[in-house]
């Protein structure tokens, strides 16, 4: 079945519509037919200025789209950092960012927050094993605080495996569930797996078996084809079958299109039967 029949789809505006500046992308997504978007942390700092936050919120609100998922601050992404949840010495930065993240969620009615775990660091204390254990303890502490805050807000936090990052320790669904299973019982419904089917498949996960096993603990889903991380249909992944299995198993939530367009956003959406084949001219650059 074509992606248009997969059920509710959202556009990840950190990977799509990159021909435009961030503040123009929500309107571009709306003009392409999307009713919902998601984004990586759209600011350069864990605690951005009020004007930056207001401008982003206005761009989403004015576009008339729903922000359905938002990443927390992930550190210096171009330098390879992938989150600060488990980083010693950055706990206050994490907590300060959590306050901003939840504030944006409250104002835009966003109820899913992706908290990247963070790479292993050399100065976490003790030997390699001891340092890893210290990071994992800190991650559980921080994730407990975040899950409880999200639950009070009627939201969930999600945790995802990543690929192609040798120092990032969460690579499979079992890795993520191993963290989630350490949380207190009152956090169970507020902390879930982000099933990024691209990362999981690249890391060797048997996707149908994984979905059968853990579907009840999935809080959000993202897709891209394998290999290449481009739009569905450009690789060999059985995305149709995987999405059909998700729906059959009862996952009714959003599926985020989080791929790198092979030939630009417009061409990719056209290939999927979405978006009309152009980057909308109504989304003016700013």
pLDDT of residue 284: 43
Catalytic center residues: 160, 258
- For residue 11, list its beta bridge partners: 37, 257
According to the model, what pLDDT value does residue 124 have? Answer: 57
User: How many percent of the chain have pLDDT more than 90?
Assistant: 90
Residue 2 is predicted with a pLDDT of 75
| pTM attached to this predicted model | 0.94
pLDDT, residue 279, reads 67
The four Cα atoms 281, 256, 159, 170 give a dihedral, to 10 degrees, of: -100
Give the pLDDT score at 277: 57
* pLDDT at res. 285: 43
β-strand pairing of 156-159 with 9-12: unpaired
Stretches in the chain below the pLDDT threshold 70? 123-131, 276-286
Looking at residue 278, its pLDDT comes to 63
Kindly tell me the number of DSSP H helices and DSSP E strands found in the chain. Answer: 9, 8
CATH (one of 2.40.50.140, 3.30.1300.10, 3.20.20.150, 3.40.50.2030) for 3-277: 3.20.20.150
């Amino acid at each position: 079945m074509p992606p248009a029949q997969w059920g509710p789809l959202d556009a990840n505006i950190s990977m799509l519509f990159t021909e435009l500046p961030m503040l123009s992308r929500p309107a571009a997504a709306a003009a392409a037919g999307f009713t919902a978007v998601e984004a990586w942390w759209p600011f350069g700092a864990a605690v951005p200025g009020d004007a930056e936050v207001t401008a982003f919120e206005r761009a989403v609100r004015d576009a008339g789209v729903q922000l359905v998922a938002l990443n927390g601050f992930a550190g210096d992404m171009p330098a390879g950092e992938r989150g600060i949840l488990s980083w010693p010495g950055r706990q206050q930065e994490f907590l300060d960012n959590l306050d901003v993240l939840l504030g944006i969620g409250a104002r835009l009615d966003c109820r899913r927050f992706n908290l990247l775990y963070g790479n292993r660091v050399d100065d976490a204390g003790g030997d390699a094993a001891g340092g890893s254990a210290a990071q994992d303890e800190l991650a559980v502490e921080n994730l407990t605080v975040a899950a409880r805050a999200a639950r009070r807000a009627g939201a969930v936090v999600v945790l995802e495996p990543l690929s192609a990052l040798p120092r990032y320790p969460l690579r499979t669904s079992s890795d993520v569930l191993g963290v989630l299973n350490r949380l207190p019982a009152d956090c169970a419904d507020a902390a879930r797996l982000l099933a990024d089917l691209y990362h999981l498949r690249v890391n060797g996960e048997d996707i149908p078996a994984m979905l059968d096993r853990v579907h009840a603990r999935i809080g959000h889903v993202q897709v891209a084809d394998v290999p290449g991380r481009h739009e569905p249909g450009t690789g060999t992944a059985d995305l149709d079958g995987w999405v059909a299995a998700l729906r059959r198993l009862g996952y009714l939530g959003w599926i985020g299109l989080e791929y790198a367009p092979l030939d630009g956003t417009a061409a990719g959406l056209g290939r999927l039967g979405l978006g009309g084949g152009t980057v909308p001219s109504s989304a003016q650059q700013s």
